[in-house]
Structure 1
Amino acid sequence: MQQPPIDSIQNTIQAALLAEANQCVACGLCLPHCPTYRLTMSEADSPRGRIALMSGVAMNRIPMNDRFIQHMDRCLTCRACESVCPSQVAYGQLIDTARVMIRYKKICQGNDVAETLATAQRAPDKTKDRLRTFLEQQLIAKPSRFDVLRPWVRLLVKSGVLAGLLRLKFFKRNALLQSQWFLTVRNLPGYRWQQCYPAKGMFRGEVGLFLGCVARISDSETLLSSIRLLTQLGYTVHVPKTQTCCGALHQHSGRVEEAANFAECNQQAFSSLNIQAIISTASGCGAQLLGHAEQGRVDGSPVPVLDISQFLARQNWSEIKFNSLRKKVLVHEPCTLRNVLHAADLNYSLLALIPELEVRPLEGNDQCCGAAGTYFLDQPKFAEALLDSKVTALKAAEANYLVTANIGCALHIGNGLLKKGINMEVLHPVTLLARQMCLQ
């Protein structure tokens, strides 16, 4: 069936944007909770200001120029504003829609070949460098390839070759490589995922585990720790091979059709399983999966999408013991866990299962760390400013561990600590739980 022309689709999108934007009463309660507003003190970099700009563009009162695009790009999509909005404005939906309009303008302006939604969505983004485009198309979109690369990346890290390459002038020019993501690799190089991990002890049910993308190569220990905890609690864990990317990076860059395609693929991967929940260990992925599930696009059945902390908090731990740990741990609360999943408090109660462990919140948990998907690449100055406040708080706290429930935050903060020479391990809460769990 032939798709409607771009103009018709744009009109529909603009109408939907205005309907939601009109819910904003411009009270300003969101301003002090917005990280970019706190950095610039500019109304245009606040949720209220951005909504006014979106409405102006949608009503053709102001142009969609470079300044408009800049203010939209500066948004971290942390959604802290939603938590304090008295009108319950769906700001996350608004900013995603604004970025769809921006993408159409970039692709379609003066370009006769972009006649349909699908064509516009598939068109390459010329603002990205070739390496990043290659990684998104060949790895992020096909995350099982990360498993193949895992042993080679580990070898580069352990041998010191990667660190040496990053000091060369050629590699210093590439922001993606200089992010040093892979310097925090914790994985089993030759490990291959099983499709099914049987429950141990008393059988309580079956669940599906969403692997995600980057965690497969940079932190498979978290995924394996989750499997270990779940099977010990009596759950059989299914890991379907056909699962793919959650689509969050695509959703937040205006490529909603690509995100929807990933959602459909994941639905097919998990739909044939007799499971009680689809579990994610990365809150960013979990928020994206949940968003599509609520729209009926990932999971048409009653099976819920849950963060690992949400599922574990419901379990009976009376038969599982943990070794004591006389250490201090700080808890970082990712924006998606705090503002979207509303589950930031659960990791504190889970870590309390470890005897003698001192658990404290990281100062400034109400503000984003600056990772925000690919934000640290697109807006490095803002990302660094936000990261600096986290690193300063961590240095002052003198803790042994930092735990966070989102892989992007872990890598961003971990690299910040590494560059400042601060020796503090950054890991997922379930990893610490699994390390301290007594063997049965």
Structure 2
Amino acid sequence: MKSSTFHPTTGTKNQQEITLMDPSAELLAEANRCVACGLCLPHCPTYRLTLSEADSPRGRIALMSGVANARIPMNARYVQHMDRCLTCRACERVCPNNVAYGRLIDQARTMIQANVQARAANDGGEGRSRQGRLRHFLERVLIAHPARFDMLRPFVRLVIKSRLLAMLLRLNILKKHALIQSQWFLTRRHLPGHFWRTSYPAKGRPRGAVALFLGCVTRVIDMETLLSALTVLNRLGYTVHVPRAQTCCGALYQHAGLADEAAALARRNHQAFAGLDIQAILSTASGCGAQLVDVAAQSPAHATAVPVMDIHQFLAGQDWSGIHFAPLQRKVAVHEACTLRNVLRASNHLYPLLARVPGLEIQALAGNDQCCGAAGTYYLDQPEFANALLDDKLQAIEQANPDYLVTANVGCALHMANGLLKEGKNIEVLHPVTLLARQMRIL
């Protein structure tokens, strides 16, 4: 849920309290596992920005516990501190007691969302601003039904080719919103009027079959990554299934406190992939992959019969004999998305895969343990914090001075590409699998 009642720059706030939900036994049980050692603090991006205990994992857990026990009110300041969390889960990676902070922050937001909706119902309102209602409409109409994006993509391609967005931005007719500024990123992408087939047969010696999870944002603005994944998997000998009934992974809903909506999407995805004779379900966007893996771990009823894997993890275990890569005398900086690093724990696979390309100079981006600020819709909801974190990434990119920046999450790619545009840097931001597909050859 977006909190619009507190402005970090001015410090103004609305202390109106929200009616308290019954305490969550699961939240309290997990919160009590935190021993308040503080090892997480230096790894938390928002704590590093504010140096406020309330903006640290330890502080937020204490606040959650206080609200669940009715010791403190669930007011706007509480909501503010929950909203500021990026859900990067860097704290989980270093926690000696393995506290499931990701589940805690989701549960806290679910309680907030339920209370906001209950209060709105009592007041006879909708509980959302005009912007919030528009966003909810788009989520319900498009994100929850991502196949509709296939119909939208030709329109997006037409708008970009007409350079309408660029002209409106130059004339300042449109507000310079982070999402609108993504037109630079989009012009770099291959946006075919492509409608998905249900199956793409293997080329060469067959090795098996997998399914590809498309996601919602990727399938409309970053088709090149998905088509690159098809190319690589087919050439490795895998038939790729793309079930039409698949939908959004549910991460945007889950992290906004809309647990019921996220669960409904999980059920639809479970049904979509059920019955396929496959070895794995592969995701190219680490944010989607993390959500699907979390669903399988936390809700066995919604788990698929085969494992969900990040595509890099799957590719790392393959036999690449018979395939070679054209040399590329370029430098690539590797950004490790938080979901790939902290949740899927698969960022280590990026480097040996890229090393298959002869001549490629590979460098880990400095500060990969810190979030870039994208964090789903965070860079739209919390631009001040998101841009502060982005500045650190832009400095690291400038120091690396690469020809390419690779990242495994589309939201991170959008956010950093926008930042590079503002800096006047002509550095292509792309997915690691796209770089592999471009250089891939068959002997």
- TM-score of the superposed pair, with normalisation by structure 2: 0.91
Name 1:4's counterpart in structure 2.
Answer: none
1:162-201 mapped onto 2 (5 Å cutoff)? 162-169=165-172, 171-172=174-175, 176-178=179-181, 180=183, 183-184=186-187, 186-201=189-204
- 1:34-65 CA distance string (max 9 Å, x none): 00000000000000000000001001111011
Name 1:218's counterpart in structure 2.
Answer: 221
Query: Which whole-Å CA distance do the structure 2 matches of 1:238 and 1:110 have between them?
Result: 44
1:56-67 mapped onto 2 (5 Å cutoff)? 56-67=66-77
1:9-408 mapped onto 2 (5 Å cutoff)? 10-11=21-22, 14-109=24-119, 111-112=121-122, 125-126=128-129, 128-169=131-172, 171-172=174-175, 176-178=179-181, 180=183, 183-184=186-187, 186-294=189-297, 295-301=299-305, 303-408=306-411
The share of aligned pairs that are identical, in percent, is 64
> What is the Cα deviation at residue 193 of structure 1?
1.2
- 1:299 partner amino acid: A
2:42 partner SS: helix
Q: Is residue 2:421 matched to residue 1:411?
A: no
Query: Which whole-Å CA distance do the structure 2 matches of 1:206 and 1:299 have between them?
Result: 19
CA RMSD of aligned residues (A): 2.0
Q: Which stretch shows the higher mean deviation, 124-133 or 309-318? A: 124-133
1:318 partner SS: coil
Query: Which whole-Å CA distance do the structure 2 matches of 1:100 and 1:80 have between them?
Result: 21
Task: State whether residues 185 and 418 of structure 2, in contact with CA within 8 Å, keep that contact through their aligned partners in structure 1.
Answer: no
- The answer for unaligned runs of 5 or more in structure 1 is 1-8, 115-119
Q: Evaluate the alpha carbon distance shift between residue 351 and residue 16 of structure 1 in structure 2; reply closer, same or farther with a 3 A threshold.
A: same
Query: Which whole-Å CA distance do the structure 2 matches of 1:221 and 1:79 have between them?
Result: 28
> What is the Cα deviation at residue 175 of structure 1?
5.5
- 1:370 partner amino acid: G
- 2:110 partner amino acid: V
Q: Evaluate the alpha carbon distance shift between residue 173 and residue 397 of structure 1 in structure 2; reply closer, same or farther with a 3 A threshold.
A: closer
> What is the Cα deviation at residue 339 of structure 1?
0.3
Query: Which whole-Å CA distance do the structure 2 matches of 1:364 and 1:229 have between them?
Result: 30
Q: Evaluate the alpha carbon distance shift between residue 268 and residue 396 of structure 1 in structure 2; reply closer, same or farther with a 3 A threshold.
A: same
Q: Is residue 2:437 matched to residue 1:427?
A: no
Q: Evaluate the alpha carbon distance shift between residue 34 and residue 184 of structure 1 in structure 2; reply closer, same or farther with a 3 A threshold.
A: farther
> What is the Cα deviation at residue 169 of structure 1?
4.7
Q: Evaluate the alpha carbon distance shift between residue 272 and residue 359 of structure 1 in structure 2; reply closer, same or farther with a 3 A threshold.
A: same
Task: State whether residues 209 and 238 of structure 2, in contact with CA within 8 Å, keep that contact through their aligned partners in structure 1.
Answer: yes
Q: Evaluate the alpha carbon distance shift between residue 128 and residue 18 of structure 1 in structure 2; reply closer, same or farther with a 3 A threshold.
A: farther
Query: Which whole-Å CA distance do the structure 2 matches of 1:192 and 1:179 have between them?
Result: 23
2:347 partner SS: coil
> What is the Cα deviation at residue 130 of structure 1?
4.5
Query: Which whole-Å CA distance do the structure 2 matches of 1:402 and 1:66 have between them?
Result: 39
- 2:190 partner amino acid: N
Aligned residues: 423
Task: State whether residues 211 and 280 of structure 1, in contact with CA within 8 Å, keep that contact through their aligned partners in structure 2.
Answer: yes
Query: Which whole-Å CA distance do the structure 1 matches of 2:330 and 2:91 have between them?
Result: 34
Query: Which whole-Å CA distance do the structure 2 matches of 1:417 and 1:335 have between them?
Result: 20
> What is the Cα deviation at residue 180 of structure 1?
4.5
Q: Evaluate the alpha carbon distance shift between residue 181 and residue 286 of structure 1 in structure 2; reply closer, same or farther with a 3 A threshold.
A: farther
> What is the Cα deviation at residue 350 of structure 1?
0.3
Query: Which whole-Å CA distance do the structure 2 matches of 1:362 and 1:181 have between them?
Result: 22
> What is the Cα deviation at residue 387 of structure 1?
0.5
> What is the Cα deviation at residue 102 of structure 1?
0.7
- The answer for unaligned runs of 5 or more in structure 2 is 1-19
Q: Evaluate the alpha carbon distance shift between residue 237 and residue 183 of structure 1 in structure 2; reply closer, same or farther with a 3 A threshold.
A: closer
